[in-house]
A and B are shown apart, each in its own frame.
Chain A
C-alpha cells in the first residue's frame, strides 16, 4: 500500500521532566492513509506518549524536545489553539484504554454525543442524535435511544468501549488513535471490539494508529507493525514481514511469547 501519510513522526524526541531517559528518541514513523498501523511494545516503551503527542495532549511534564509531527503534511506544533481543537475529535479522534475515560460520569450519554457533534458541526440536537444513532447501530446497539438516556456507569466495559468508538467515529475522522483499546476488557469482549474496529476501518476508510502490547491484536488488524523498546523504534515493516521474518531479537521474543500463551 503506498500513498500519502496522514500522520508522520519525523525524528521526534519526547522527554518527561524528572526522567533522564526520553519516552521517545529520534523516532521516525509514517502512518499511511486508510491503513492500520500498529505500535507494539511493553508497557512503558513510549507507545502511548506518541498518541498523546499527536493529539497535542501530552501528560503534564511531557515535552517535545526535537523533531516534527506532521498531520496531513502540516506541523501540529504550529497549529493555533482553535485549529487544534477543530482537529481533535473532528479529523483525528482518540479511544482510550479505560473505556470510561471518554465520558463524563455526571452527564447522560446522549447529551455528550450532542456536545461532541456541536463542537464540530453546525447542527442541532436532532442531527447530532441521528448521526450518533447511525454509527451506534452499526456497533451492536439495537436501541441507541436507550443508550442516550443512560450514564456511563450503567454500562459494561464492552458496551462503553463500543460507545466510545461510536463517539470517536461520529465525525468521520481521517485518523483514529487507539490506546490499548481492548486491554481493559475481558477476552470475549476484546474480540468483539477488535471486530468492530476492523469493520469501522474498512467501511469508513479511516486510518488507524493502534497502540497495544498485544501482538496478536496487532497482527490481526495491522497492515504495518512498528516495534518499540524503551523509546526507540527498533523495527518497522508490513505485518507479514514482521511476523514471519523478524530481524530483531526483541521482536522475536515478543512473537515467541504470544505462542507460549
Chain B
C-alpha cells in the first residue's frame, strides 16, 4: 500500500540537496527578520544611541529630526525591507560606536577568530581522535579508565577558570608564553589551549562512544571471525562507521568556535568576533549586534548543511542513489 503524497512532498523527499538549500535560505530570512524585530524592540533607539555614544545629550527636537533621517519613524515592516535591501547589497549599516561600517568591522575581526577557531579545532581533532579510539579499543583496561577520568575532569572545568590557571602556571610562573599578545603564534597558544582542552575532553568521550557503538554491531564479530587483522578492522571498517557521528559533533563545534569565544577572547585580549560583540553589547551598538547574530546564523546553518552533506556521502545507501536524488528503491542481485 502506498500512502498518497503531494507532488510537493515527493519533490522535497527526493531532491535532498535542493530541499536543504531552499530551507537554508528560508531559515536565514526568518533569522534576519527576528534579529531586526528583536533589536528594534529594545528600549533605546538608534538615534539616541548615536548621540549618547558621542557624549552628546540630544534635545528632543534633534532626536526627532535624526529619527526622521534614519527612517526610524516608518512602519517596522518598511524599515525591515529597507534593511534587507541594504543587507543584500552587503550593507549592514554603521556601527554607532565607531562610525565604521559593520561589514568592515566584521571582516576585520574575522581573520583573528578564524585563526583561533581553526587552531583550536585542529588541536582538538589531533588530541581526541586517537585518545577516543584508544579508549574504545582498550575498553575496561587501565588506559581507558585513565583517559575517561582525565576527560571527565576536563569536561567539568569551566573555561574562564582554565584560562586563568593556564595564564598563572604557563605564563606567569613558567614564563613559557606571554600573558598578552606579542607575536602571533606565541600569543595564540594559551587561548587555543583554553578552547581545545575542554572541547577535546568532551570529544574523547563521544568518540569513544561512537567507536564502541560500531564495535557492538554484528559485523564486527563477523570481521573477527573472518580473521581480519585488528588494524584493518579499525581503519577500514570501524573508522568509517564512527565517522558520521563524529562529523555531526564537529559540525556543531565549528559553529560555536567560529562565533568567536567571547569569554576566552576577552580574557586573553584577543581581537576576535567574540570580544567585539561583548563590547557592542556593552554600549548597545545594535547594528554590530545584528551583524553578529546574522553571521552566527549563517555559520550554524552552513555547518549543519555541510554536516548533512558529508554524512549523506558517507552512507553508501545514499551515495549509490546519487548525490542529488534520494530514492528509496531496493534491487536484487543476479
Contacts and interface: CB of A to CB of B under 8 A. Distances in A.
Interface in B275-334: 314-317, 320, 330-334
Given A98-B218, A119-B232, A156-B332, A151 B227 contact: no
Nearest to A101: B218
Given A141-B334, A155-B332, A116 B219 contact: no
Given A57-B224, A104-B219, A107-B237, A150 B229 contact: no
A87 B226 CA distance: 9
B90 interface: no
Interface string B159-197: 000000000000000000000000000000000000000
Determine the main DSSP class of B at the interface with A. Answer: helix
Contact of A104 (B237, B314, B330): B237
Interface residues of A, number: 38
A102 interface: yes
Interface string A71-114: 00000000000000111111001101010111111111000000
A143 interface: yes
B43 interface: no
Contacts of A89: 225-228
> Interface residues of B toward A: which range?
20 to 34
A55 interface: yes
B240 A106 contact: yes
B333 A146 contact: yes
B236 A116 contact: no
A102 B222 contact: yes
A115 interface: yes
A100 B331 CA distance: 16
Contacts of B224: 55, 57, 88
A213 B331 CA distance: 32
B223 interface: yes
Nearest to A146: B334
A159 interface: yes
Contact of A154 (B223, B241, B315, B332): B332
A98 B222 CA distance: 10
A230 interface: no
B80 to A, nearest CB: 47
Contact of A151 (B218, B314, B316): B316
A120 interface: yes
B221 interface: yes
Contacts of B232: 115, 119
Contacts of A90: 227
A201 B226 CA distance: 19
A161 to B, nearest CB: 12
B222 A120 contact: no
Contact of A119 (B218, B228, B237, B315): B228
Contact of B236 (A98, A101, A115, A147): A115
B249 to A, nearest CB: 19
B135 to A, nearest CB: 16
A102 B237 contact: no
Given A96-B218, A154-B333, A57 B316 contact: no
Interface in A58-76: none
A202 interface: no
Contact of B223 (A93, A104, A120, A151): A104
Contact of B229 (A100, A102, A119, A159): A119
Nearest to B332: A156
A248 to B, nearest CB: 32
Nearest to B216: A60
Given A107-B237, A150-B333, A116 B227 contact: yes
B330 to A, nearest CB: 7
Given A146-B333, A159-B333, A88 B226 contact: yes
A167 interface: yes
Nearest to A177: B225
Given A85-B229, A87-B227, A146-B334, A151 B320 contact: yes
Contacts of A119: 226-229, 232
Interface in A17-40: none
Contact of B317 (A55, A143, A153, A156): A153
Given A119-B226, A154-B330, 10 more contacts: A85-B230, A89-B226, A96-B221, A101-B218, A101-B219, A102-B225, A107-B316, A115-B226, A115-B236, A154-B333
Interface of A: 55, 57, 85-90, 93-94, 96, 98, 100-108, 115-116, 119-120, 141-143, 146-147, 150-151, 153-156, 159, 167
19 contacts: A57-B221, A85-B227, A89-B226, A89-B227, A101-B219, A102-B225, A104-B219, A105-B316, A106-B315, A107-B236, A115-B232, A115-B236, A116-B226, A120-B227, A146-B333, A146-B334, A154-B330, A155-B332, A167-B226
Interface of B: 218-219, 221-230, 232, 236-237, 240-241, 314-317, 320, 330-334
- State the 3 A-B residue pairs at the shortest beta-carbon distance, nearest first: A89-B227, A101-B218, A88-B227
